[in-house]
Amino acid sequence: MFRNTVIAGALALAPSFVFAQQPVAPATPGTSPGSSATTAPTDATPAATPEHNVTGNIGFFSQYIFRGLTQTDRDPALQGGFDYAHSSGFYAGTWASNISFLKENASTPFAGAGTGTMGTYHRGGSLEWDFYGGYKGTLGDFGYDIGALYYYYPGRINPAVRAASAPFEVPKAHTLETYLGGSWKWLSAKFSYSVKDETFGVNEADGTWYLDITATVPLGDFYKPLTGLTFVAHYGYQKYRGTDPRNVAFAPAFGGRTPDNDDIYSYKDVKIGLSYLLPKDFTVGAFYTKVFDESKLGYGGVGDVVNPGGLRGPYPRDIAKGTGTIFLQKTF
């Protein structure tokens, strides 16, 4: 009786994670996103860089993956956004995608009835809408980028989850991160830092950070017949800070000790993929992602039992499992 209560409590208290697809970066003024070069002007005078540049992007993905985790339960996602860039280096943009994880991240197994699905959000919870802005520039062969990104998730908290979490607060998934990035040729690194107590639905998690190291290699630079084909390799490290008071529900899996956010939600992820630039600024591609050193209590499925304690994962299926994704994207 007590064990079943703890299991249900742990699932109901599962925080509302967000795993947003990286918004498409604003194009360098005078180029289309995804294009490696512009068409040369017919005369000897270089084309002037426009003071203002607005671009857009839309893409269809077989699932929504960010930071190694699926947030559509491996179902398709339609994503798109708009970007504004000024010739001085300042930029701003917005991006959106359908999601499902906010309605699935507190799923519970029903005795003799398989798996039920329940989430932190009761109404809404099907949209992620991002807003970002910053400044980017170059110093010789090196590039830099500094800015902020706000993740917005409209919807209402599920009353059943709120009741199960009492007396602790159940925050929405809204998150504010600042970031600092650098690049050299086809190598890039980006450090994102959460500046609010509520980070992706986890309480007391300010200071949580994510490190992204990526190699984006245009293969045509090494072998001309491969022009248009790009290889991508990525390593990421998600590090959570603080202790959500609701983590007390996970104590049976830690010998009675209340685990901190790092114990439950930190992990590492890798990604490899290929993309090919098609005519009319279309891009087609595929990539494989996998997560390492994760806790099933944070990212596992209801079929994943964690011993000691007998607690289960919060999702219908393990969202950190290695998986492949294909996509078609258009920039304009």
Residue 249 Cα distances to 30, 107, 143, 295, 297, angstroms: 54, 15, 45, 15, 10
Q: How far apart are the first and last CA of the chain?
A: 58
45 in a structural domain: no
Look at residue 14 and tell me if it is in a domain.
yes
Structure-token match 């390799």, residue found: 233
Assign 7 to helix, strand or coil: helix
Short-list 312, 302, 299, 307, CA closest to 255: 307
Residue 42 lies in a domain: no
Question: Is residue 40 one of the residues assigned to a domain?
Answer: no
Question: If you write DSSP's letter for every residue of 24-64 in order, what string do you get?
Answer: PPPPPTTS-TT-S-PPPPSSSSPPPPPSEEEEEEEEEESS-
Q: In which domain, by residue range, is 197 found?
A: 2-34+52-331
Say how far apart CA 125 and CA 98 lie, in whole Å: 9
Encoding tokens for residue 306?
């964690």
Global pTM reads 0.85
Per-residue confidence in pLDDT tens, the chain, 332 aa: 423 333 334 433 444 443 345 544 443 333 333 333 333 334 455 566 789 999 999 999 999 998 999 999 999 999 999 999 999 999 999 999 999 999 999 886 543 344 578 899 988 999 999 999 999 999 999 999 999 999 999 999 999 999 989 999 999 999 999 999 999 999 999 999 999 999 999 999 999 999 999 999 999 999 999 999 999 999 999 999 999 999 999 999 999 999 999 999 999 999 999 999 999 999 999 999 999 999 999 999 999 999 888 899 999 999 999 999 999 999 99
Which tokens in the block code for residue 297?
A: 């209590």
3-state secondary structure of 99: coil
Residue type, 278: L
Q: Is 122 helix (H, G, I), strand (E, B) or coil?
A: strand
The radius of gyration computed from the CA coordinates of the chain, to the nearest angstrom, equals 21
Here the tokens at position 163 are 């009741």
Residue 118's pLDDT is 87
Closest CA to 331 of 78, 63, 80: 80
103 within some domain:
yes
**Domain assignment present for 227:** yes
Q: Is residue 41 part of a domain?
A: no
- Torsion, CA 104, CA 273, CA 57, CA 184, rounded to 10: 120
In a domain, residue 294? The reply is yes
On whether the CB atoms of residues 23 and 132 are closer than 8 A, the answer is yes
How many domains in the chain? 1
Q: Write the DSSP assignment of 165-209 as a string of letters.
A: HTTS----S-EEEEEEEEEETTEEEEEEEE-SS-BTTBTT-TT-E
Question: Which CATH number goes with the domain that contains 327?
Answer: 2.40.160.40
